[in-house]
Every structure is written in C-alpha cells, then in structure tokens.
Amino acid sequence: MDGSGIRGAETGAQIAEFDLSLTGVRCAGCVSRVEKALRQVPGVVTADINLASKRAHVRAIGADGAALTDAVAGAGYGADLIAPEGTGAGQGADSAPGHDHAAHGAGGENAGWRVVLAAMLSLPLLAPMLGLVPSLPGWLQLTLATPVTFWLGWQFHKGAFRAARTLHGSMDSLVSLGTLAAWGLSVFLWLTAHADHAPHLYFEAAAVVITLLLLGRWLEARAMGRTMEAIQALMALRPRLARLRLPSGDVEVPVAQLRVGDLVVVLPGAAVPVDGTVVEGASDLDESLITGESLPVAKQAGSTVTGGALNGPGTLLVRTGAVGRDTMLARIIAMVEGAQAAKAPIQRLADRVSAVFVPFVLVIALITFAGWVLAGSGAETALINAVSVLVIACPCALGLATPTALMAGTGVAARSGILIKDAGALERAHAATIIVFDKTGTLTEGKPVLTGLTPAPSIDATEALRLAAGLQACSEHPLARAVLDAARAQSLRLPTAQNSRALPGQGMAGMVEGQALRLGHEGLMAALGVDITPLADAAATARQQGHSQSWLAVQAGQGAQWQLLALLSFADEPKPTAAAAIAALKAQGLRCVMLTGDHEAAARAVGDRLGLDEVVARLLPDQKAAAVARLRGSSGTVAMVGDGINDAPALAAADIGFAMATGTQVAMETAGITLMRGDPLLVADSIAISRQTWAKIRQNLFWAFAYNVVGIPLAALGLLNPMIAGAAMAFSSVSVVGNALLLRRWRPRAGAGR
C-alpha cells in the first residue's frame, strides 16, 4: 500500500500503519475533528493525533494513504503522508521519518522575522497607551495595524475559514473573530467620527494580540523542538555511508545498499552503520546514546555491535546482521516515536472538553456582548469585552498539556536507556504498587561464579584449583567456565588433561599429571567411595546459602583408593546495583517480590542479600504468570521485570512489563518498557520518570483549565482588555510547554557517579 508499513497482524488481517504530517491543526478541538474524520474512513482501526508534533498515527485494514489525506482535507486541514522507515531499496536506511517536518511545521509559519516585523508595526500603536508619544492619527493606526492583522495574521484567518467551511469552530476561529472585530470596529469609529472628535480606536488591540500570539507560537515551536531532541539525536546516529569490503577492495556505498551478510569496515572514530558481529579487530564502542551506558564497551571478534554506536581507536570488520528498520536503532526510534505519538488515557478528558469548547466560548462571547449592551454600556464596550472572551479562551494549552509532557518524559528516558512503548505503559508504571522480579539474569548476573573452594585437610587450595581448572579446560559447561575464570584471576598455569570427558548427569573425568581426577556431585563421590565427611560442615553451610556444589577427588595410582581434594561452591551472584535498586524501589513505596524457577535455598539467599519483601521459588513459566495474576487480584498494580523467553507469560500477565534488552526479543516485545542495559537500577529510574511525567501532565492540565476557568469570567466582566487577554493566552501555551521541559533536568540513578 502506498506509503504504509505492514508492522503486524491482528485477528488474521494485516494492519497497515500510516504516519501523517498535519498542517492547520492548532488546538485540541482541531485534533478532535481530524481524528473523527480519519476514523470515518472505511478500514481505519485507530487514529491518534499528537498536537505537539502535529502528527497523526493511523492503523487501518484495506485503506490507503490517499483516502486518509483526503479525509483530513475534507475536515479543513492539510496532511502529507510520511514515508515509513524501511521502504525502498535497502530498507530505507537513508529515509528519515517526517519528524523534522512535523517538528518545524509550526515554526515555518511563525518564523522569527514575522514576530519581529509584527512587533515593529505594533509598538508604535502601543506607545500612546504607555504615555510615550501622543495619540497617533487614525490613518496611521490603520496603516500600521492592517498588515499585522491581515498579512502576518493571515494564518489565523485561513484556519478559521477552513473550520467554517466544515461548520466547525477552532482556536483560529476565536482569534480571527476577535481581531477582525477589533479592527472592524476601529475602522467604523474612525470613518464615522465627527471632524472635531477623536474617537477611541482599537487598532492596537488587533495588532498586539496577533503579535503576542505569533510570539507565543514561535516560542512554543522552539520549545517543542527541544522536546524532540531525543529523537533527533537518535536519527543523527544513522550514518549515510558505509565502507563495504569486496574481493577487489574496500568501497564506500550508501547504507541503503547493504545486505545481510555483507562485510563492513568500521574505521576509528566512525559510526557503526549496521547491526552485526565483529569478524576481525578489537576496539571500544561508545553506545551511550543507544543504551545510556556512559562507559565505552570493549569489542573483539565474536562481539555483537549495534548500528549508531561510535567506534573508538581500533578498526573493526563487521558482518552485517540487520539493516534498515530491522536494526536496533531503527526499532528504538520507532518505539520512542510511538510513545510520543500515543495518546494518554488522561488526554481523553481534555479531548471531550475541547470538542464542545469553541461553541461554548462563542455562546459566552455573544452573552457577554448582549449583557453589556443591555446594561447600557454601549456597543463599543460590549464588543471589546466579547473580543477579550474570544481571545483569552483559545484552548492551545489544553491540547498541549499532555503530549508535551509525554514527549519530554519519554525523550529523557530514552537518553537514559529506558524505552517506553506507549502512553498507557507510562500511566500504568507510575501507578505500580508491586514490582515482581525474575532472578536469573535480572537480579543476578545469570552465570555462576566460584564463590569458594574449601580444600581437604593437608591439601593446598591453589593446587586444588589448578587441577580442577586443568581438568575442565576444554569444557563449555557454565560451572567449568566459572572455575577457569577463577584460575585465570590468579594467573595459574594450567596442566594439560588427557582423556578428559563428561560424565552425563554426574560431572567430569580425566587424567591430569598422571593422576585420575573426578569432579562432580555428591552421588559421584559416593559411587567412588570417597569420604566427604571432613568437609561436611562446609558443605552444609554452602547449601544453606543456596550455593551449588562440586566435589574434586583424586586417584594417585591404578587401583588406589579415591581421596577427597576439595569442595567447590558456586553461586549466581547478584548484580552490583541490585541491592541499591531494591532499596530505591522500597523508598518509592513499592513492594518487591522475586519469582524464580531456582531451588528454595538459592532463592532465599538472594532474597535475603537484596532485602526483598517476598520470594517464591521452584516456579515454571506458567506458574510465574499465575503468581503475577494472584498478586494483581489481591494487591494492586503489578509490574513484572524479566529477560528471558520463560518470563514472557508473566510479563504479559502483569499490568506493566519491564524487559531487559540484554535478554530475548520475545521478552522485549511483550513488555511495555524496555531497559537497554541489564541494570536493575533502571527499573527504579523508570518508575521515577513515569511518576514525574505523570505529575507534569496533571500540572499542565490544571494550569490549562485554570487559565480558561479564571480568564473567561474576568474577560466577560470587562476586567481584561484584548491585549492582556492575548498575552495571557500566549503565556498559557508557553508555560505549559516550559513546565514539561523541566523534565529534561531529570537524571537517572543508574550509572550515576561513574
């Protein structure tokens, strides 16, 4: 389908997703009308508009882009289809989503020169009111005010005309009616004035209101650009060219031409153009804008690399694993854009109010005009007060309250390695009361380490470790890797093992330096007749701590009795930040629970070390999901944190899922929030930024409503003139955006102090 991207399937039918850049959409009322028009297109499943970015996201079955743009045009607005990531050859590596266009669409019609010119023409009109100069003659006021009202303010009148064509009202309707009324009244009073009478004209009201609104929109557009910096920074990471290795030599080609399996050379200081695996070379990569990790990450042959990371001092040869929209960077951009385009449930309240707001204000303005006329104040005073009502009531701030906070919050979260899938995930995260963790790979490192080696009496511990490591030098078993890591840490020279072999379900066997060695569980020792009582106390202590155990025995000669050498203890150690993460979550008032398939002793040991509130062990994946469901039913809003395929059912069962990006793709797709690093502190950071973002949304909605609730009655009572009303309306929008931008000052706990 033209301009679409097929991103999924629901109920057996393919869902096409469209993004549109909108023009003329200025308030929540406009949003409501365009959404209604889009939803009436046959095949449209959902249509959501982000007023801040001026973008629409539509999901449809059987509809095409032309039908959607026609529907928007029919509602009196403009729309351009944004080409999705991944269209065209090479999956659109060079294509940029229409974010820049959307971000600067408002700024284009409210460029700085318009504001400056409007101010230069309006200040002379305002100067007599400030007592700086004598009153200007009527013809000069008309000359100065007319270009501001009709030329520089044409965007307002054009928007009002579009709305009127469809028998709707908009913010532009209020501005246009108000300023044209002030200008028209002034022209009438000037033309009908007696020769010896200087009438009070209101040209300055029309010109200054337009100028203030232009200034407000210009400031708003600049501020909105700052809320999109996270997306723009991610887009800037995408290199346009790559150095492709061919049999004939290296050639520079557009990234769009790369295919999976191509070999790409990444020079020092260059950006990695693709996701892939290092084939040759070693270097350090800066992945901070992708994962939030502040320290360079060492890469060598066999390491995976992510497109967009910045290469350090070494040259890498990378085999391409993914290009275009299949890369991690493209998926991150899509997820952040999706979150920023999504509509929070709380926004529905603002939408319902905005749908009837403009007609309501028009009625109030008519009542104001009639009331002042009936009170005997004259048509002039009545009209000015009615104009003030129209100007103060513009509902810009109401429509910007939620999307600006969402964009700022999700943007700063993304820079910190926290990807929020949608606004609903943000809302559920801030309301969480229980955090449920998986153990292995989430709270722990996910790999065993040798936590202790207890030698038998008269046996040297270092010698026992040397022999155990030599026996397992060729094994890929996780416990063998742990022994080898411990031996390397002590820089031990390992002996060569002969006839080394695995004993399925029991351990390892082999010959080392002429001695037969066996390494395995307690049952193997019993079968060999090894007396393990000398180390029984050490074994009991290790079991109480939840440690796994292996026993090392030696047979000095053929037919000789087997002798105990050492007890080796292993544990999956908690991640360095796990305890701090649990403490931070408890400080936020959350209850921390761990669900694991591990045995009871190991689970309890980890739970005690980290200070968890509850530990449930020996659970299968479906039992984890059932446990999460029980917690939801009895205790409130449950968040689940996991990283593996076996965690996917529990992530789906929770109110909100957190997936470690260091885990599986299945877990990431199931979760509402993805943590780009395996750092448990990011969970606490996610809750913190979601709560702060939600607080900003509530603050913005309060102030947006407050401006109108307070301002409209004051204007109707004649306590606000049109200029003050225009300034208040412009300030309301700027203040809402500015309040949202305060979220940019938020800093995560994860990675602090590095």
Per the CB < 8 A criterion, the answer to whether 358 and 169 are in contact is yes
Residue 686: inside a domain: no
For 647, list phi and psi in degrees, rounded to 5: -90, -15
Per the CB < 8 A criterion, the answer to whether 548 and 571 are in contact is yes
**CATH code for position 270:** 2.70.150.10
Each residue's pLDDT tens digit, 639-673:
999 876 667 778 878 888 888 876 555 555 667 88
Same domain, 222 and 242: no
CB atoms within 10 A of CB 523: 12
Integer Cα distance of 239 and 621 in angstroms: 41
Q: Give 448's pLDDT tier (boundaries 50, 70, 90).
A: confident
Predicted confidence (pLDDT) at residue 228 exceeds the cutoff of 90: no
**CATH code for position 486:** 3.40.1110.10
Integer Cα distance of 330 and 50 in angstroms: 21
How many residues are given for the chain? 754
Residue 260: inside a domain: yes
Integer Cα distance of 5 and 28 in angstroms: 28
Which of 519, 548, 571 is the C-terminal boundary of a domain?
571
Residue 684: inside a domain: no
Query: Does residue 366 sit in helix, strand or coil?
Result: helix
CB atoms within 10 A of CB 629: 14
Greater confidence (355 vs 722) lies with 722
Structural element, H or E, at residue 724:
helix 722-741
Integer Cα distance of 274 and 277 in angstroms: 10
Q: Give 266's pLDDT tier (boundaries 50, 70, 90).
A: very high
Predicted confidence (pLDDT) at residue 688 exceeds the cutoff of 90: yes
DSSP, residue by residue, 134-163: PPPPHHHHHHHHHIIIIIITHHHHHHHHHH
For 153, list phi and psi in degrees, rounded to 5: -95, 15
Same domain, 270 and 140: no
Q: Give 474's pLDDT tier (boundaries 50, 70, 90).
A: confident
Residue written as token pair 């409209």: 712
Where does 52-185 show beta strands of DSSP type E? 55-60, 78-82
Same domain, 355 and 222: yes
How many separate helices (H) and strands (E) can be counted in the chain?
Answer: 26, 27
Q: Give 99's pLDDT tier (boundaries 50, 70, 90).
A: very low
CA angle (394 as vertex; 392, 398 as ends), nearest 5: 115
The pLDDT value recorded for residue 682 is 93
Residue 40: inside a domain: yes
**CATH code for position 642:** 3.40.50.1000
Predicted confidence (pLDDT) at residue 109 exceeds the cutoff of 80: no
| Average per-residue pLDDT for the chain | 81
Q: Where does residue 443 rank: exposed (0-12), middle (13-18), buried (19+ CB within 10 A)?
A: buried
Q: Enumerate residues 6+ apart whose C-beta is below 8 A from 222.
A: 107
Greater confidence (276 vs 625) lies with 276
Same domain, 590 and 441: yes
Residue 172: inside a domain: yes
User: What mean pLDDT is predicted for residues 718-744?
Assistant: 80
Cα dihedral: 717, 718, 723, 728 (round 10): -20
**Helix runs in 490-591, H state only:** 522-528, 536-544, 578-587
Give residue 133's Cα distance to chain centre: 54
The pLDDT value recorded for residue 235 is 72
Per the CB < 8 A criterion, the answer to whether 358 and 171 are in contact is yes
Per the CB < 8 A criterion, the answer to whether 479 and 448 are in contact is yes
Predicted confidence (pLDDT) at residue 5 exceeds the cutoff of 50: no
Same domain, 591 and 454: no
Residue 232: inside a domain: no
The pLDDT value recorded for residue 432 is 92
Least confident segment among 293-297, 423-427, 469-473, 744-748: 293-297
Domain count, the chain: 5
Nearest to 537 by CA among 450, 456, 451: 456
Predicted confidence (pLDDT) at residue 517 exceeds the cutoff of 80: yes
Q: Give 552's pLDDT tier (boundaries 50, 70, 90).
A: very high
Same domain, 534 and 556: yes
User: What mean pLDDT is predicted for residues 5-23?
Assistant: 64
For 556, list phi and psi in degrees, rounded to 5: -65, -25
The beta-carbon contacts of 158-165 under 8 Å, at least 24 apart in sequence, are: 158/24, 159/24, 159/26, 162/24, 162/76, 162/77, 163/30, 163/33, 163/76, 165/76
Which of 676, 701, 717 is the C-terminal boundary of a domain?
676
The pLDDT value recorded for residue 663 is 54
Predicted confidence (pLDDT) at residue 712 exceeds the cutoff of 80: yes
3-state helix, strand, coil in the chain (%, to 5): 50, 20, 30
Percent of the chain with pLDDT over 70: 83
Residue 493: inside a domain: yes
The pLDDT value recorded for residue 645 is 60
Per the CB < 8 A criterion, the answer to whether 317 and 278 are in contact is yes
Q: Give 158's pLDDT tier (boundaries 50, 70, 90).
A: confident
Percent of the chain with pLDDT over 90: 25
Same domain, 594 and 529: no
Please tell me which residue in 275, 351, 438, 647 is annotated as part of the active site. Answer: 438
The pLDDT value recorded for residue 104 is 39
Q: Enumerate residues 6+ apart whose C-beta is below 8 A from 407.
A: 50, 52, 53, 224, 227, 228, 340, 740
The pLDDT value recorded for residue 554 is 94
The pLDDT value recorded for residue 11 is 42
The pLDDT value recorded for residue 87 is 41
In a 13 Å sphere around the CA of 30, the CA atoms on its Cβ side amount to 33
The pLDDT value recorded for residue 234 is 67
Q: Which domain holds residue 210?
A: 109-227+342-406+693-745
Greater confidence (32 vs 146) lies with 146
Integer Cα distance of 481 and 446 in angstroms: 13
Each residue's pLDDT tens digit, 346-401:
666 666 666 677 788 888 989 999 999 999 888 888 888 888 888 777 666 766 77
Integer Cα distance of 588 and 583 in angstroms: 9
Nearest to 579 by CA among 537, 601, 552, 611: 611
Strands 434-438 and 638-642, by their bridges, are parallel
Integer Cα distance of 482 and 493 in angstroms: 16
> CA dist 717 to 135, 152, 668, 727, Å?
27, 30, 56, 18
Same domain, 538 and 553: yes
Report the chain's C-alpha Rg in angstroms.
Answer: 34
Residue 70: active-site member:
no
The pLDDT value recorded for residue 89 is 34
Integer Cα distance of 634 and 619 in angstroms: 19
Same domain, 565 and 580: no
User: What mean pLDDT is predicted for residues 492-497?
Assistant: 90
Predicted confidence (pLDDT) at residue 582 exceeds the cutoff of 90: yes
The pLDDT value recorded for residue 655 is 87
Each residue's pLDDT tens digit, 193-223:
777 777 778 788 788 878 877 886 786 677 6
| Strand-by-strand arrangement of the 515-520 sheet | 449-455, 563-571, 548-555, 515-520, 507-512, 497-503
Q: Give 519's pLDDT tier (boundaries 50, 70, 90).
A: very high
Least confident segment among 234-243, 297-306, 524-533: 234-243
Predicted confidence (pLDDT) at residue 732 exceeds the cutoff of 90: no
Predicted confidence (pLDDT) at residue 577 exceeds the cutoff of 60: yes
Which of 504, 538, 571 is the C-terminal boundary of a domain?
571
What letter would DSSP give residue 562? P
Tokens at 105, concatenated: 């669409």
The pLDDT value recorded for residue 687 is 94
Q: Enumerate residues 6+ apart whose C-beta is below 8 A from 505.
A: none
Q: Give 100's pLDDT tier (boundaries 50, 70, 90).
A: very low
The pLDDT value recorded for residue 461 is 94
Same domain, 18 and 56: yes
Residue 97: inside a domain: no
The pLDDT value recorded for residue 131 is 66
Same domain, 563 and 458: yes
What letter would DSSP give residue 83? P
Integer Cα distance of 313 and 210 in angstroms: 55
Same domain, 208 and 175: yes
Structural element, H or E, at residue 358:
helix 347-374
The pLDDT value recorded for residue 651 is 81
The pLDDT value recorded for residue 462 is 94
Integer Cα distance of 402 and 408 in angstroms: 10
